[in-house]
Amino acid sequence: MNSTRQGQIKLSQLRALIAVAERGNFGEAALQLGLSQSAVSHAIATLEAMLGVVLISRGRHGAYLTPVGDRVLTYARQMMQSLDGMLKEANLAKGLQGGQVRIASFRSVATHILPEAIAQFRQRFPDITVQLTDHEDLPEVEQTLREGRADIGFTYLPTSEDFEVWELLQDEFVALFPPTFKLKGVRLSWDDLAHHPIIMPPETDATMLQFYEHCLAFHCTLNVAYRVNTDSTIVSMVARGLGAAVLPRLAAEPIPTGVQVLSLPVPIYRVIGIAVLADALQVPAVFAFLDILKCKDLLMPKLLA
């Protein structure tokens, strides 16, 4: 077959071949394609004439692929799959030329996870604007999503059925002690925590509610010397010897040299998730950013590796 004939093969002929092979007769293939039976028959006959082989065996009980027809069908399906891929890529590209992605986050994720994600996203899609809102309180992030003021948010799992979520990471709560602290045993005990001055966020802080419940479960009463809103201030006070603290590891970073980082007697983790509003229609840019966030190996800081 010469190149001129190759160029004359039409996608409609390949669709007809696939439909007849799947349906087993020309009539049902025609219904599937929305064409007349004679049009489908003509498409197959023309393809056979161009290839110089019989692809379909026509009989009283239906239409069947010949051996060569079966082999040609494989290529026809591959070509149609390639076409679908081309169209998807083109549509994705059209949706990624401009626009914006709006992200709502709490501070530790905004500080340690999102800068790398945004840098990778902008490298791939430089024409899309990324808008990041840093919230103090976790409920504010979820409310921002509900009100449609953000496309992607970060929350703790489990969460409300209002959202479709994916787990991003498990962030361990760690105890931070001053450089001068001397551990009595091999591991930190609840008594060590209970008898040391503690610097903690407010009791209503959403990040710490899980830890406070954990303490109650093990009958540990903390000796809270200071209540401080900002994680970085708490860590600085620990470094200056004003007390110990318990924070999620990600929230505590960067940890000053000399500050001792110890696991709790019974470990506990906050599970951080990526959330979008369930059933919301998302633009291609949002899906592209989600794909980057799901590549944990690319984003995870060394402290969580």
Q: What is the DSSP letter of 150?
A: -
Please report, rounded to a whole number, the percentage of residues in the chain having pLDDT higher than 70: 93
**Each residue of 244-275: pLDDT tens digit?**
999 999 999 999 999 999 999 999 999 999 99
Residues present in the chain in total? 305
- What is the model's pLDDT at position 42? 92
- Residue 92, pLDDT score: 66
Q: Is the pLDDT of residue 302 over 60?
A: no
Q: Is the pLDDT of residue 4 over 50?
A: no
Written as one letter, the residue type at 150 is A
Q: Is the pLDDT of residue 303 over 70?
A: no
Question: Which tens digits make up the pLDDT trace of 91-114?
Answer: 666 667 777 899 999 988 999 999
42-47: average pLDDT: 92
Residue with tokens 């929350």: 155
Q: What is residue 181's predicted lDDT score, i.e. its pLDDT?
A: 94
pLDDT of residue 93: 66
Whole-number Å distance between alpha carbons of 198 and 223? 6
Considering the chain, what is the average pLDDT of its residues? 88
Token match 């003021």: residue? Answer: 149
pLDDT at residue 127, rounded to an integer: 85
Main-chain phi, psi angles of 197, to 5 degrees = -55, 135
